[in-house]
Amino acid sequence: MAIAEDTVNSPALVVGSGATVQTTAFIPPANCILVAFMWGDANNGSLDESLTASDTLTGTWSTPILDNARGGAAVAISWSKIGGSPASMQVAVTDNKGNVARGIFVRIFTGTDLTSPFGATNKTGTAAITVVSTVTNSWVWSAILTSNAVQSAGANTVQKADFGGFDSGDAVGCYASTNTTATSGTSITVTESGGTTVHHVAVEILPPGGPATVNATVTFSAGAVLTAAATQTSFPSVTMAASAALVATATQTGFGSITMAAGAILSAAAVRTAVSSATFAAGAALSAAATQTGFAGATMAAGAVLSAAGTVSGSPVVGFAAGAQLGVTATQTGFGSITMATGAALTTAGTRTALGGVAFASSAVMTPTAFGTVLPGAGFAAGAALTAGAGRTALGSITMAAGAVLLAAATSGATPLVPTVLVAGGTPGSTLVSGGATGSTLIASGVVTGTLIAGGV
């Protein structure tokens, strides 16, 4: 059931300044919500004006958004739930400043979430106001007060109410986006045209389901999408089938276990934390534009992708199968152990630190363009490659099989590579770039056919 405005039973806008400013009597349908858009005009420099909705059936009203921070007025939006036994009622607005100019416009909505019907909110002093939707098929509405008496709807906006001459020259109005939002995470802008805006508040009205929080188990089938513009928390277990998507533009936390099938996508534009275990099938993707932390264990099959534009940290164990990729454009830290199979790639354009142990199978690749530091142990099989465009430091121990390649365009230092075993028995074909000293005995058998490059080695 889609969200709908009940234009038949909703009362008209009422403006006044007496002891009681309330709507005419109306009878709402069962199982709906009432939303009150309210205005007052007696605020002062201490931002002390507030507006409260009440009704003759003694319903409970919540006021999730109030703006009194710009000039001598206040604008607010409240809501109340109507259950299964509706009756005739009136809704009033009370101003804590007493019998001053105020107004109220009540709308009846069906097809909404009856427990938490409001999602994202915003308030501004401009004619255009934007809300990023948190749920698919939500609807954005706004209330506005301007300092002149002419208002009209801007692009992609419908004017729902308008009153000029509010308190000697101001104008108040109510607006809505033309359509509900097909996809969550969409920026919806509602625009008033023609007034000098003083106060503008907006709210996202949600369909059944509302925001997702505290889900013991979440299962995503192919093509499913879970998105949020703010925060999602406490998912002990998440299973995502092919093409499923979990997306957030802010913060997601508390993922005890994540299993992602081929084609599944888990992404965030801000911070993702506390994922104790993550399993990625071939083609699955985990990405973020900022920071991801707290991965106790991650297993990535061939073709899986783990990427971020910011920081990935706190992964004690990461296993990469052939073709899997871990890449960032900034920093990755705190990897206790990494195992990379043939064809796996580990890349970064910035810095990689604190890799307690790295084992590279044949043809595996680790390539940063800046610095990789604190590698206490690294094992390279034949054909493995470790390259850097700048420096690599603190390599406590490196074991390289025949054909393995360790390259650097600048320096590799902090721990000398002299005691490192390159190829037991002097197997030809190992390649080393280091800052070691000329004349070091690197191969115990005396075989000197290994190729040693740069730094005078």
DSSP 320-360: E-TT-EEEESSEEEEEEEEEE-TT-EEEESSEE--B--EEE
Shared domain check, 264 and 411: yes
**CA distances for 147 relative to 97, 168, 169, 224, 383, angstroms:** 20, 10, 7, 46, 73
* Dist. CA 441–CA 452, nearest whole Å: 12
Shared domain check, 231 and 200: no
How many domains is the chain partitioned into structurally?
A: 2
Q: Is the pLDDT of residue 415 over 60?
A: no
* Residue range 39-98, pLDDT digits in tens: 998 887 667 889 999 999 989 999 889 998 887 889 999 999 998 888 999 999 999 989
Q: E strands within 169-310? A: 170-177, 187-193, 197-205, 217-220, 225-228, 231-232, 235-240, 245-248, 251-260, 265-268, 271-280, 285-288, 291-293, 295-300, 305-308
Shared domain check, 445 and 296: yes
- Three-state SS at 292: strand
* Residue range 321-376, pLDDT digits in tens: 777 776 666 566 766 677 777 777 766 655 666 666 777 777 777 665 545 555 56
Evaluate whether residue 222 is within a structural domain: yes
Shared domain check, 256 and 177: no
> What's the CA angle centered on 411, arms 406 and 413, to 5 degrees?
85
In whole angstroms, how large is the CA radius of gyration of the chain?
31
Q: Which residue has the tokens 């059944």?
A: 208
What was the pLDDT predicted at 135?
85
- Three-state SS at 106: strand
**Which range, of 10-14, 157-161, 193-197, averages the lowest pLDDT?**
193-197
Mean pLDDT of 394-407: 64
Evaluate whether residue 212 is within a structural domain: no
Evaluate whether residue 191 is within a structural domain: yes
Shared domain check, 434 and 379: yes
Describe the chain by its helix, strand, coil percentages, rounded to 5: 0, 50, 50
Shared domain check, 226 and 90: no
What was the pLDDT predicted at 348?
60
When pLDDT is cut at 50, 70 and 90, the band that residue 419 belongs to is: very low
Shared domain check, 198 and 270: no
What was the pLDDT predicted at 150?
81
The amino acid occupying position 231 is T
* Dist. CA 171–CA 180, nearest whole Å: 26
Contacts of 45 (CB under 8 A, 6+ apart): none
Instruction: Classify residue 449 by burial, with Cβ atoms within 10 Å: 0-12, 13-18, 19+.
Output: exposed
Shared domain check, 201 and 115: yes
- Asked if residue 339 lies in contact with residue 320, where contact means CB atoms within 8 angstroms, the answer is yes
Among 205, 233, 257, residue at a domain's last position: 205
What was the pLDDT predicted at 431?
41
Arithmetic mean of pLDDT over the chain? 74
**Which range, of 404-408, 410-414, 449-453, averages the lowest pLDDT?**
449-453
Shared domain check, 101 and 10: yes
Mean pLDDT of 269-273: 61
Provide the CA 327 distance to its chain's centre, in angstroms.
19
Q: Is the pLDDT of residue 298 over 50?
A: yes
Q: Is the pLDDT of residue 239 over 50?
A: yes
Provide the CA 341 distance to its chain's centre, in angstroms.
31
Mean pLDDT of 204-232: 65
* Dist. CA 31–CA 4, nearest whole Å: 13
Evaluate whether residue 109 is within a structural domain: yes
Mean pLDDT of 161-167: 90
**Which range, of 122-126, 187-191, 252-256, averages the lowest pLDDT?**
252-256
Q: pTM of the entire structure?
A: 0.51
**CA distances for 186 relative to 130, 155, 211, 247, 285, angstroms:** 10, 16, 15, 12, 21
Share above pLDDT 70 across residues of the chain, in percent, rounded to a whole number? 61
What was the pLDDT predicted at 354?
60
Among 141, 176, 205, residue at a domain's last position: 205
Q: Which residue has the tokens 């299973």?
A: 239
Q: E strands within 44-196? A: 51-55, 62-67, 74-82, 91-95, 102-110, 118-124, 128-132, 139-146, 152-153, 157-166, 170-177, 187-193
Shared domain check, 48 and 27: yes
Shared domain check, 318 and 261: yes
Q: Which residue has the tokens 């301007």?
A: 146
Q: Is the pLDDT of residue 36 over 80?
A: yes
Evaluate whether residue 115 is within a structural domain: yes
What was the pLDDT predicted at 410?
36
* Dist. CA 155–CA 160, nearest whole Å: 14
Q: Is the pLDDT of residue 227 over 80?
A: no
Mean pLDDT of 7-22: 93
Instruction: Classify residue 19 by burial, with Cβ atoms within 10 Å: 0-12, 13-18, 19+.
Output: exposed
**Which range, of 48-57, 108-117, 439-448, averages the lowest pLDDT?**
439-448
Dihedral angle computed from the Cα positions of residues 245, 113, 206 and 1, in that order, rounded to the nearest 10 degrees: 80
Boundaries of domain holding 225: 217-453
What was the pLDDT predicted at 27?
97
Shared domain check, 160 and 12: yes
